[in-house]
Structure formats: structure tokens, C-alpha cells
Structure 1
């Protein structure tokens, strides 16, 4: 098969409520995932052995990287022995709460499923993804989703089109550190997902939500605190995604988001992105399959 590339899109948690804690230590939560048209890229090339390169020298390219772990998991599950030459082109910050590692793993599962001709279905890939991380299945399934449990119970939702400014305050936040903090709120009452999320309903529903991890991240990471305050002054609806560190605000249109980005302090980085109904990964997979099925010109 000829080499190909697939996107690994970012996600935002539009809110994140922690409703309790299981006896095994995992937190019970409710969150609303939205997928963006911005992210990393993973290149796939046939090879006899399995290898990974990354254009970010700070990231590991051994089994500490979820891309390689996803590849080895597929080999173990299927008995497949061929390799692949993988190249990860990073745009998303590590420890940013935008799902970079989890999205990379999901793209690796789908890409190798195609490269190796495994023909595994979405449910199987989502099950494998869950063993790599709680956020991986939402990227595998490729739809905006309402999530409950430890994040594994997903319900696809349709959301109105949204534009976001995402700000990276330049710090890496450990999920374990946030979830292990003694001051983390763990008893937010459960809420119910509305039957439909039109523009007006969505805005009202979003206002009900918050991120229980935000107070802890503000206290531990002053840069997160400052980024949230700046975004709030620009847009009035600032929120942190996941366990941090990235913060975001949504805007009425692309131009408003870009206007805010132009005012971003130079010591931070940021990007403007649009929400998607279907993941860019799944759109790219559909294009590749169509190309394969059409055969030579």
C-alpha cells in the first residue's frame, strides 16, 4: 500500500463535572466532547519493522508514546507481524488537555487497521483504545459526544457550529496531579443531557456547566489562572479544557475569534479552530477507502 497521512484532531471538554469516585480510584464524570478541525498528523508507510519518528524532540519515540503502544496492541490482538514506519507531526501541546496523545493513538489504530488490512470494526477499535486511555474511544468513534462513567460511556450528539480560540499558556499539566489533589471537587450533582441541542438550548446547557478541575489548575499553575482571566476579558465565556492547561472561549464567527487571537499576549500561543460534526480523521479515512475502491485510473 502506498504511504498516506491521517489527521489526529484536537478535542475540547466544553465542561467537566466530577460526580464521584469509584473504589478503584477512578473518577466518575460527565463531560461534553467537541472535536476540532486542528490537530496533529500521523504519516504511515509500509515497513518490515515498527518504528516511530516525531518532529518534536521533547516527545519519546519508544513505548512511552501512545502511538507505538497502540501499534503493539494491534499486533498482539490480531497476531499481525508486519511493521510500519510512522512519523508524528505535532501541533498540539503535551499536557494541554486537548487530547493530543489520545488522538494520536486513535489515529494510529485506524491507520494501521487500514495499512495492515485488518478490517477491525469501530467497536473493536474503541475497546482497544479504552485500554490505552479513557479519552481514546471518542477519537476512535469520531463524533462529538456526551460522556459519562470514567469517560467510556459515549453518546454522539449534534452541536451547532462553533468557533473557538484555544490558548496554550505554556505549561504542561499532569492529569494525575490534578485528580490526586485533595481540594478537587468530586461531588458535583449529575445533570441530564437535553433531548436536542439547538443553538439556544446549547447556550443554556453550556452555562449550567463548569470544569471541576479548573480551580485546582488555577491554584497550582499561575499561567492557567492568567490565561483564563485574559480570555474572560476578551470573550466572557472562558473555560479550561480537561485537566488543563489549555483554555478556550467560543465566538459567534471566525472573524471574532481571529480578532481576539491578534490580541493574544506574545508569551502565549494559541489557535483558532472550528467544531466538526464528523472527525477530520473519519473524513480522511473515507477518502482513502474511496481511492482504494476505485482502483487505478
Structure 2
């Protein structure tokens, strides 16, 4: 049995304060996009994990998919499985690929073994694995707050637009990005700003990770600039980077970006 775990982008990301538990309080809007990893569960004689596609550093036993399965296996006395992950969502891109994999693995286990877990129960299983993991259980556009694991449904639909994602050959470590970011209390809530007309987003919706990340990786800033020069109505780095997305009113060709050895998606 297999499933397809999709990525997300952040339509704005505001870091409002440092928490006593080491995390940050934030405001962001998660929006699912059509780039997918593939996860398969295969009956096996012992529990293991195989990763194919894009290389993920580290031991597979440290992968949050494997950790999620082991927790469920213990709680529900599940039989041994081989987890096969075909990795297609870029790593270190701010697209939530690892978190999506863990959440969709939990949903797949729930389906295969008929555990009857509710969305809320599955969210509770994945929250300890990553701040944005719980978003992928319901996997619908949402305003996220607290440390990014509390949600409000949000009525936003970009399907009428052409969404482009550009991933440069740069890996931005999340911990590094957080260590250099400055927090501040915004004058307006992001969940209200997102309802402004699209042409006003550039002046009001920001990603607080951009200044420190752009300072260290100016090529990411250059990508954003080129997307606006190509006619994007809105462009922003997703999460802590390094991917940049842009919203166009119609299909666009970007040969200059494509020829620079960048991973390029129309999503």
C-alpha cells in the first residue's frame, strides 16, 4: 500500500517571539502544493526503511518516518513493515518534505491496519516530530500559529494562478536560519493580510527568514528578483529556504532560471 506526500509553501512567515522551550512563536499560512514524495508499506520479516531518490543524510533510524512508525508499532502491536520512501521533494528547501512524509506515513498506517485514529489523534502522534508535521494530517490551507502546530482553517485558493517554484543548489539548515532571525510583534495578523488583493501582497506579506538567509545566500535573493522581473504578482522564499515560489497570472517560461542548473517546478 502506498501514498503520495505533498509539499507546502509558506504564504508569509512572521516570527513574533522566542519561547522558553527553545521554539519560536510565529504566524504563517501553510498552502499545499503538487510536488510529492511516495511512501510505501510492504509486509516484511523485520521493520526497516529504504530511501530512494534524493539523498537524505543520516541513518534511516533517525528519519522521522521511521520514528513515527515505531511509535505506532509499539502502541498498536503492528506487524513488521518495510517503509520505502521515494524522495522527490527537495531537502533543505523550506517545503516541509520530511514533515509531510511522517504525517502521510501515519495516515497510511492508520488506513492499512484500520486503526480508526481521528485527525486529532494522528496530529498528536506527529506533533513531537516537527512543528509543521500536524498540518499535513488535514492537508488543507491553514493559518498556523503558536510554534506552527496550531491551526485555523483558511479559505484561500490559488488554483486560478500559475505557481512556480525554484530551488537553487543551496541547503539552508533550519537551525541555522532560526539562530540568525530577529523577532518582532507585527502590527497586523497574517490571517487578515492574506485576504488583501494579490497585487497588494508584496507590500504587506513577508518572510522574516529572508533578511538573514539572503545575506548569506545572495543567489536566493537574486532568484526572487528575477521572478518579479519576469512578471510575478508575488514572490517569496518558503519557510527557512532555500526554495522561492512565485505566483503568476498565466503560464510563464523562465529560460534564464532553468539554464542555471536550478531545480524548477510548475506546481
Q: TM over 0.5, yes or no?
A: yes
The DSSP-based 3-state class of the residue aligned with 1:238 is: strand
The DSSP-based 3-state class of the residue aligned with 2:254 is: helix
Question: Is it true that 1:239 corresponds to 2:232 in the alignment?
Answer: no
The DSSP-based 3-state class of the residue aligned with 2:53 is: coil
The DSSP-based 3-state class of the residue aligned with 1:34 is: strand
Q: What do the CA deviations read for 1:252-276 (whole angstroms, capped 9, x no partner)? A: 23x23xx236752332111011xxx
Superposition deviation, residue 188 in structure 1: 3.8
Question: Is it true that 1:63 corresponds to 2:57 in the alignment?
Answer: no
Q: Is the 8 A contact 2:194 2:205 kept in 1?
A: no
The DSSP-based 3-state class of the residue aligned with 1:105 is: helix
Q: Which of the residues 115, 119, 123 maps onto 2:116?
A: 119
Q: Is the 8 A contact 1:20 1:27 kept in 2?
A: yes
Q: What do the CA deviations read for 1:159-204 (whole angstroms, capped 9, x no partner)? A: 12243110011111111001112xx22004153323994xx64554
Question: Structure 2 vs 1, CA of residues 195 and 242 (structure 1 numbering), >3 Å: closer, same or farther?
Answer: closer
Aligned to 1:72: 70
Aligned to 1:283: none
Question: Is it true that 1:267 corresponds to 2:267 in the alignment?
Answer: no
Question: Structure 2 vs 1, CA of residues 168 and 61 (structure 1 numbering), >3 Å: closer, same or farther?
Answer: same
The DSSP-based 3-state class of the residue aligned with 2:134 is: helix
Moved more, 9-18 or 64-73: 64-73
Q: Distance in 2 between matches of 1:265 and 1:57?
A: 21
How many residue pairs end up in the alignment? 262
Q: Which of the residues 189, 207, 216 maps onto 1:211?
A: 207
Question: Is it true that 1:107 corresponds to 2:101 in the alignment?
Answer: no
Aligned to 1:284: none
Moved more, 125-134 or 158-167: 158-167
Aligned to 1:228: 224
Q: Is the 8 A contact 2:29 2:143 kept in 1?
A: yes
The DSSP-based 3-state class of the residue aligned with 1:43 is: strand
Superposition deviation, residue 230 in structure 1: 2.1
Superposition deviation, residue 108 in structure 1: 0.7
Superposition deviation, residue 207 in structure 1: 4.3
Stretches of structure 1 that go unaligned for 5 or more consecutive residues are: 274-297
Aligned to 2:27: 30
Q: Distance in 2 between matches of 1:72 and 1:169?
A: 34
Moved more, 23-32 or 38-47: 38-47
Question: Structure 2 vs 1, CA of residues 99 and 154 (structure 1 numbering), >3 Å: closer, same or farther?
Answer: same
Superposition deviation, residue 234 in structure 1: 1.8
Q: Distance in 2 between matches of 1:190 and 1:123?
A: 32
Q: TM-score, normalised by structure 2?
A: 0.90
Q: Distance in 1 between matches of 2:95 and 2:32?
A: 9
Aligned to 1:98: 95
Q: Is the 8 A contact 1:10 1:99 kept in 2?
A: yes
Q: What do the CA deviations read for 1:111-136 (whole angstroms, capped 9, x no partner)? A: 11112221111101011111100110
Superposition deviation, residue 52 in structure 1: 1.2
* 1:14-53 mapped onto 2 (5 Å cutoff): 14-53=11-50
Q: Is the 8 A contact 1:14 1:206 kept in 2?
A: no
The DSSP-based 3-state class of the residue aligned with 1:55 is: strand
Report the RMSD for the aligned CA atoms in angstroms: 2.1
Question: Is it true that 1:139 corresponds to 2:136 in the alignment?
Answer: yes
Question: Structure 2 vs 1, CA of residues 5 and 245 (structure 1 numbering), >3 Å: closer, same or farther?
Answer: same
Q: TM-score, normalised by structure 1?
A: 0.82
